[in-house]
Structure 1
């Protein structure tokens, strides 16, 4: 996919990986970018700090854990951009804690933003673009592949995204493509914000990388429309046994992909 002269949506754009990604986009030409974040002050400060270029930045402030806010985001995209060549569904957060409480709302909050929001956005991208080719990149985590104590709910959500993509690749037959990036711990304020008390310091997993490294990998993933993106070579190499197991199971998944097509065909013939 060509990035020059494209239309895009970036969520979680005011800090961390999202902010670094905006800086990477500044080296391209004539972009129209709908930038979204929950913090209007941080979003405006980020846009003011970007170098002058030929881009058109369209800000959107909203809580993307809410369906209505995602609908509003895509309504604005329709009015301001028309169609969207690529979207980076990057908004998300973590808890660092022991899971020993009864709080439905707290659990729902993290799954609404980290899981349901990008999946619903993927559907909205298909509706907005129709047959026009497009690409959706979802920010997952290395914790989707390896759970780390203290980040149980965060890892569970990222693993849910990973399993979704593993099945969805067999189901999707439209013009839209989807990819997922799996950063290791990134040196931003992300982990500090995972604790309830700002005076406490969370345990940050080793190894780590800069948000700029992740942003560069995201660019390459978009250009080549990759399904899986691993910004850390260390992570990619160390998970080879796991990846080999996944490859061995591919025929099993392919069999059930054919069964799904047969089932859908029978259902359509009955209508």
Structure 2
């Protein structure tokens, strides 16, 4: 893509203070969108992302909030209204892990991940759709009434022992996305998801930071490299743009082939 494929559009990006969310917020701003940069506990990091966008003459505002709480979600979208006049794109990215073997996992850790990764995604997507319908179609901004992008995971497809809460949440995100897309496509709202594979982010540094860890991880990636946050961000820009206007109810796997079960390359 060239130019500013998201020029004039307004986006809410959750979990945008670090990692994939930060990369998406920066890429959206570079592509011409005004961005609500959501953070949860790290206020300074959220403000730093916003400052980076503003320094490059983009438009952004930092808004704190826990997306598993309806009032906080409402505040995010109210900020989009007050600062930018509305919202055209919602990226439901905020998430967490609380890992443990199935037999040792606490109900608290189960609920923590389900509440944030699945319920939070639902609340943001629902509120986004309500705002799109209230605003009406603005063809000078986008062919679609609005766009929702869920940041899921290859683990919506691949079981992951020791991470049952996370895998269950991402499996739920898949069906949330597909059902929402089925329901809203006729109203010109495009709903899709991106499923990242192994991506270099602060949350998983131990999996790739040393040569031994990287070699082990690369056995799972047929393409032969570990993903960067920019791989996801550029995919999100395309998926939010009019170039992807006929893409509805699809999960875009950005994983270097991880979801192809590479252990079976030589016959299993």
Question: TM-score with structure 2 length normalisation?
Answer: 0.77
Query: Which deviates more, 6-15 or 206-215?
Result: 206-215
SS at match of 1:179: strand
Give me the CA root mean square deviation: 2.7
Q: List gaps (5 residues or longer) in structure 1.
A: 195-200, 240-271
Query: 1:4-83, aligned counterparts within 5 Å?
Result: 4-29=7-32, 31-38=33-40, 39-50=42-53, 52-83=55-86
- Aligned 8 A contact 1:12 1:37 in 2: yes
- Aligned 8 A contact 1:218 1:229 in 2: no
CA 1:8/1:153 → structure 2, altered by over 3 Å: closer, same or farther? same
Larger Rg, first or second structure (1 or 2): 1
Match of 1:245 in 2: none
SS at match of 1:209: coil
Match of 2:128 in 1: 125
Whole-angstrom distance in 1 between the partners of 2:91 and 2:44: 21
Does residue 107 of the first structure (1) align with residue 119 of the second (2)? no
Match of 2:253 in 1: 230
- Aligned 8 A contact 1:217 1:230 in 2: no
Shift of 1:183: 0.3
Shift of 1:102: 6.5
Match of 2:155 in 1: 143
Shift of 1:95: 2.2
Alpha-carbon displacement from aligned partner over 1:2-25 (angstroms, at most 9, x marks no partner): 401211111111111111223323
Whole-angstrom distance in 1 between the partners of 2:106 and 2:16: 29
- Aligned 8 A contact 2:200 2:229 in 1: yes
Alpha-carbon displacement from aligned partner over 1:162-200 (angstroms, at most 9, x marks no partner): 122333333323222111000002111123599xxxxxx
Match of 1:191 in 2: 204
Query: 1:250-265, aligned counterparts within 5 Å?
Result: none
Q: List gaps (5 residues or longer) in structure 2.
A: 138-144, 208-212, 263-268
| Count of paired positions | 231
Question: TM-score with structure 1 length normalisation?
Answer: 0.76
Shift of 1:214: 1.3
- Aligned 8 A contact 2:29 2:35 in 1: no
CA 1:33/1:193 → structure 2, altered by over 3 Å: closer, same or farther? farther
